[in-house]
Amino acid sequence: MIGYDNPEDMERKLNILKIITHSKGGDRYRNNAMNYCLDDRCIAKKGYGINASDPTIAAMQFRKNAAFWGKRNSNPFIQYMHSYLKEIAPTGEHALKLTNEIMEPFLAENLAITVVHEEDQGNSLYHSHTYVDATKFTNGKMIYSNNTVNYVIAQRTANVLRQAVQLIVEYDSGKEWTCPMIFTHQDNDEDI
């Protein structure tokens, strides 16, 4: 990863990784998130231990995993939103394939759902939302959205895309933080 000191460098087109966590959202957040991600804009989807066709069932599956491990009042999940440049993801199916490759390290121990929305945002036609259960189904341990994990997933995104990525983090308060570094392709990939 490198940081750009020249503002002109920052104005170039970038793929975006936005990480969103609402640790105090509970059941209401679970339900709203599943209804949102599986709405009419959803053109491609894949569940990992989660029903990707019914938002009510998907929310219940996330809730049941947390309850099983005694984490009912903990952070429901971490949302990873990838907004891909048009030339990187020319179709929704390609956006889903890229997202699944990027998120693969989480998928062995966490329930997750990935959806792709079609929405022209200027530089991007497709963006994906991946909701990763913050409670691992294998042992009940929590994953956290901290910069140690966030930087690794941003670097993994740059490595898979082989292009620069901007990291943005949205907090419970709704405030956003934009990482001053731009993540660029590296030959090695750290584990999450």
pLDDT in tens, 117-141: 998 888 899 999 999 999 999 999 9
The closest alpha carbon to 81, from 1, 159, 153, belongs to 153
CATH class, 2-183 region = alpha beta
Count the neighbouring beta carbons within 10 Å of the beta carbon of residue 107: 16
Fill in the DSSP letter of residue 53.
S
Q: Measured between alpha carbons, how far apart are the two ends of the chain, in Å?
A: 16
**Residue 16 pairs with which residues in a beta bridge?**
83, 166
66-115 pLDDT, tens per residue?
A: 999 998 777 889 999 999 999 999 999 999 999 999 999 999 999 999 99
Answer whether 121's CB lies under 8 Å from 82's CB. no
Which of 88, 65, 76, 102 is closest to 20 using CA atoms? 76
The rounded distance, in Å, linking the Cα atoms of 72 and 16 is: 31
